[in-house]
Amino acid sequence: MLSNLIAGLRALFRRNRRNDEIASELDSFFQASIDDKLRRGLSREQALCAARAEIGSAETVRLKVWSAGWEATAESLLQDLRFAVRQLRKNPGFAATAILVLTLGMGAAVAIFSFVDAALIRPLPYAQPSRLAIVYESNSLGPHFHLSYFDFLDYQQRNTVFTSLEAFGHYGFMLTTPDGPQPVHGTSVTAGFFRTLGVTPVLGRDFRANDDQAAAPYVVLISYAAWQRRFGGRNDVLGKTVTLDGKVTSIIGVLPPSFHFAPAEPSEFWGTERPDGGCEKVRGCHNLIGLARLRSGVGFAAAVADMERIGVQLAQQYPNDDHGRGATMDPLVDAVFGNIRPILLMLLCGAALLLLIAAVNVSSLLLVRTERRRREMAVRGALGASRSRLVCQFLTEGVALAGFAAVLGLGVAFAVIRLVLGLIPKDILDTMPYLRTSGLNTHAFAFTGLVALIAALIFSLLPALRVSHADLRDGLQEGSRGASGTVWRRFGSNLVIAELAMAMILLVGAGLLGKSFYRLLHVDTGLNADGLATLDVAGTIKSGAAPQWISFERRLHAELTALPGVRSVAIASEAPLGDGDGSSNFVIVGRPPVDHNEVIIRDVAASYFSTIQARLVRGRYFADDEDQSRQRVVVVNRQLAKVFFPGEDPIGKQIFMEGDPKTAMLIVGIVDNIQEGQPDAAPQGAMYRPRNQNPDDPRDGFTVLLRTGQSEDSILGAAASALHTADPTLAVFNPGTMMEKLYDSPSAALHRASAWLVGSFAALALLLSVVGLYGVIAYSVSQRTREIGVRMALGAQRSTVYRMILREAGGLAVAGIVLGLAGSLAAATLLGKLLFQVRAWDVTTLAAVSVVLALAALVASFLPARRAASVDPTEALHAE
């Protein structure tokens, strides 16, 4: 088998040597034959003659020997291929257009496929990932909130549906480095976390059952990337210690390179979730998410039911903490891919449409070319080429075309993948670790091969079908016009209508996504993001009690305000446009507690509202001297006022946090809604309490907001060093601007990436369909030259000819647009979920796209129309 292959290849690549071999073999046969005949007594001449007669034509023998091996078939294919390439090169315009169009179409499709593959096809790197689920607690704000440690323990012990239930909290750690404390990405997990996932470290060991108990020494697993980056990939990392959150912690293992866990990414350090944390001792303090593996044989619905049962028990048992709360569950795959799946599917549909348009375009180019090659085919047929030989020729041409496009398309796909990954900000990409595995792998190659195969089939069968036997005879007749031209025109017109319709769908999609993206960036955030910089700060050592904390923040405030370029400064527990987390229940004094009374809580400095330039609806903000010695006050947002005080004035009313009825707060003002969560989140009730009445340990971290008239970046560096000077133990991180928060927020980034992609698909589709329309009209004009000549000879005006051609093009364009409108409405309805403040039936988008398409069609048909109008009647009639 192998030797046969090698011998065949050798024969192919050293043809001369193989031919020499055959020749000398034949020669020795010849000589032996002569010798034999001489021995039998024939004369030399007679012997020579007889031997020649015996052997016959040396060339025939050579060909027969040559065709004994498989290489002969391969060679004829190669010959066809060479001919095909020559054909393509002879017609560089056609070849370049067809290959370019296909390359772009295939490149886009392969690139999007590789993302789809990474996110939706390749399984997550865990054992039986479909049996894993994420467990949340629901509250009045929604279904996806954290569990408290005690609730988690109860769920863990009481459930009957999981083989294991573990918990994780993704908050990061403060790593002690020689340059001071540095925040690092990290997650705390309970000991069985990795066993539940079915992941084992590549180096060292997993957590043992007791590693997460209060008495156990601190241990940590590190990610493969952290091992490479921070420890140079050395094996002696095991047993080394790092100081995380001030605790000396031993590294016990390294996770596999393929491991990622999107709900807690990015994470370099995986520490233990222990019962001795501050939050872990309070049932009302929610900081964990559950990870569960379903017992075999237990359905998802049954598991949810069991969790809900326990949730009801807990709400009855601990009404103070768990009133109105319950358990919810999502399959892990949904938790990981839930928000990106519809986007990817939409992009895949877009890429498929683009590829389809490209294929239609190339098919129509091929058909035009087939019409031109009818004579060539007819001549070859007349000279004895069998039909299968002619079809084979088309086949190789199709394969050559698709093959070139596939190779180039892979290059384009590579570029597109890099481009898309570049479009997504790094922070957000870190939370979608699976996307980094997208690239040109075996799946992508297989997909490319499949697409190329289908394309090759279409491109070879289409012309082959068009060249039937009857046509071959027609083709020989000089200047035959026959029915073929009209048939093609009709077929080509239908293709163009389909193309225009698909381009319309893509354009509408791009228009809607673009508009949605614009709306997202220009959403009313309730603050002035321009010129607002933010810094996250956290203390790393214990620093006294509440009075010290307040004076410490006042000191920071003063020093930052003194910086040049800084107009005002505010300290807050959290900056707006974050994750929208951090909520609590409240009660209105004099009314019974109600369900769904959870609102966002922010503790902010008195300068907060003026610094972010919030809008006061009514009442007043609080002042810096309203501290714990004075009447407790609070500012609520408009949403809270609307939901909890419908039809009445909240100002002057008193409220208190659930479980703390003694500290009632007086509502002194209503502020317009400030967007605390993602820009596309619905408005939520929120209250703003004076930081000086609700002081916080610097170790819990806070955000500094700086308002400046100059560029935000210029003051961020100065602010960071001022903070360091004020207190060297402070960790300062995440310097950024509010504009960045708005533009690079996860939802904006996803919107932007999809708007860009669909936009470029649509632009390409528009170009392709316009070129296709041009091709059809130009072909039609070239076919009708004689007719136009006759018309003009009979007195038709140029303007009439113009109108005639434009009417033909206009008919196609209108048909395409109408069909496209219907398709767009269907597509846009599917898109609905991804849109923000834009309806699927957005009339302006639909109208604008129709106009753009109509204009483009007009331009495309104008050139052939002009050519038609400039036909010289005498020449047109002579030419025939």
Sign of the torsion angle spanned by Cα atoms 501, 507, 513, 515: negative
The residue (of 11 and 869) whose beta carbon lies closer to another protein is: 11
Q: Which one of 14, 15, 28, 320 is in contact with another protein (CB under 8 A)?
A: 28
Task: In angstroms, give the least distance from the CB of 76 to another protein.
Answer: 17
CA distance 530 to 794: 70
**Cα–Cα–Cα angle for 496, 497, 500, nearest 5°?**
85
Measured from the CB atom, the residue of 68 and 214 that comes closer to another protein is: 68
* CB-nearer residue toward another protein: 10 or 240: 10
How far apart (Å, rounded) are the C-alpha atoms in residues 372 and 370? 5
Question: 16-30: b or e for each residue (b if 16 or more CB lie within 10 Å)?
Answer: eebeeebeeeeeeeb
Residue 51, CA distances (Å) to 36, 37, 41 in order: 10, 8, 14
Contact 476, 382 (CB under 8 A): yes
Rounded CA gap, 632 and 60, in Å? 109
61 binds another protein (CB under 8 A): yes
Q: Which residue has the tokens 């009639």?
A: 877
- Using the minimum distance from each CB to another protein, give the nearer residue, 2 or 470: 2
Query: Which of these, 108, 169, 757, 692, lies nearest to 444 by C-alpha position?
Result: 108
Residue 71 or 321 having the CB closest to another protein: 71
- Determine, following the binding rule CB under 8 A, whether residue 31 of this chain makes contact with another protein: yes
- The total of other beta-carbon atoms located within 10 Å of residue 852's CB is 16
- Closest separation in Å from C-beta 70 to another protein: 9
One residue of 10, 14, 64, 618 binding another protein per CB under 8 A: 64
How far, in Å, are 568, 611, 622, 707 from residue 704 at the CA level?
Answer: 11, 11, 18, 10
**Considering the complex, what minimum distance in angstroms separates the CB of residue 27 from another protein?**
9
Per CB under 8 A, contacts with another protein among 349-388 are none
Which residue from 60, 73, 213, 548 is in contact with another protein, where contact means CB under 8 A? 60
Q: Please, what is the minimum distance in Å from the beta carbon of residue 61 to another protein? A: 5
Question: Which residue, 55 or 623, is less far from another protein as judged by CB?
Answer: 55
Contact call for residues 628 and 616 (beta carbons, < 8 A): no
Among 25, 334, 595, 713, binds another protein (CB under 8 A): 25
Rounded to a whole number of angstroms, the minimum distance from the CB of residue 56 to another protein is 6
From the list 19, 33, 480, 543, which residue makes contact with another protein (rule: CB under 8 A)?
33
Counted residue by residue, the chain has a size of 880
Closest-CA residue to 359 (of 452, 443, 449): 452
527, exposed or middle or buried, with CB in 10 Å at 0-12, 13-18, 19+?
A: buried
| Total chain residues near another protein (CB under 8 A) | 25
Nearest to 88 by CA among 359, 396, 388: 396
Considering the complex, state which of residue 57 and residue 711 has its C-beta at the smaller distance from another protein. Answer: 57
- Residue 773 neighbours by CB under 8 Å, 6+ apart: 496, 499, 500, 809, 812, 813, 857, 860, 861
69 binds another protein (CB under 8 A): yes
Q: Report the 10 Å Cβ neighbour count for 228.
A: 14
Stretch that binds another protein, among 17-25, 112-120, 287-295, 851-859 (CB under 8 A): 17-25
The residue range among 4-12, 586-594, 770-778, 864-872 that interacts with another protein, by the rule CB under 8 A, is 4-12
CB of 17 to another protein, least distance (A): 14
Distances (CA, A) of 859 to 508, 774, 778, 839: 20, 9, 13, 31
Q: Which of 9, 32, 248, 415 binds another protein (CB under 8 A)?
A: 32
Binding window for another protein (CB under 8 A); candidates: 18-26, 393-401, 627-635, 734-742: 18-26
Instruction: Please give the angle made by the CA atoms of 125, 131 and 132, to the nearest 5 degrees.
Output: 65
- Of 27-35, 83-91, 112-120, 321-329, which part binds another protein (CB under 8 A)? 27-35
Per-residue interface string for the shown chain with another protein, residues 39-58, x marking contact by CB under 8 A: ---------------xxx--
Q: Which stretch binds another protein (CB under 8 A): 62-70, 245-253, 513-521, 851-859?
A: 62-70
Q: How far is the CB of 50 from another protein (least distance, A)?
A: 12
Closest distance of CB 81 from another protein, Å: 24
Question: Which is closer to another protein, CB of 65 or CB of 666?
Answer: 65
**Residue 28 or 734 having the CB closest to another protein:** 28
48 vs 681 by CB, closer to another protein:
48
Per-residue binding string, another protein, 564-593, x by CB under 8 A, is ------------------------------
Q: Is residue 725 a contact point for another protein (CB under 8 A)?
A: no
**Closer CB to another protein, 24 or 721, in the complex:** 24
Decide if 601 contacts 684 (C-beta within 8 A).
no
- The answer to the question of residue 76 lying near another protein (CB under 8 A) is no
Identify the CA nearest to 201 among candidates 254, 260, 124, 240: 254
Residues of 447-468 as b/e, b for ≥16 C-beta within 10 angstroms? Answer: bbeebbeebbebbbebbbebbe
Is the CB of 17 or the CB of 426 nearer to another protein?
Answer: 17
CA distances from residue 398 to 180, 401, 450, 455 in whole angstroms, order as listed: 65, 5, 14, 8
Q: Does 29 bind another protein (CB under 8 A)?
A: yes
Residue 67 vs 800, nearer CB to another protein: 67
Q: Which CB, 36 or 872, lies closer to another protein?
A: 36
Task: Please tell me whether residue 59 binds another protein under the rule CB under 8 A.
Answer: no
Dist CA 401 CA 454 (whole Å):
12
Comparing CB distances to another protein, the nearer of 32 and 312 is: 32
Footprint of another protein on 440-469 (CB under 8 A): none
CB of 55 to another protein, least distance (A): 5
CA separation for the pair 852, 834 (Å, rounded) = 24
The widest CA-to-CA distance across the chain, in whole angstroms, is 139
The three-state secondary structure class of 754 is helix
Q: For binding to another protein (CB under 8 A), which residues are involved?
A: 3-4, 7-8, 22, 24-26, 28-29, 31-33, 35-36, 54-56, 60-61, 64-65, 67-69
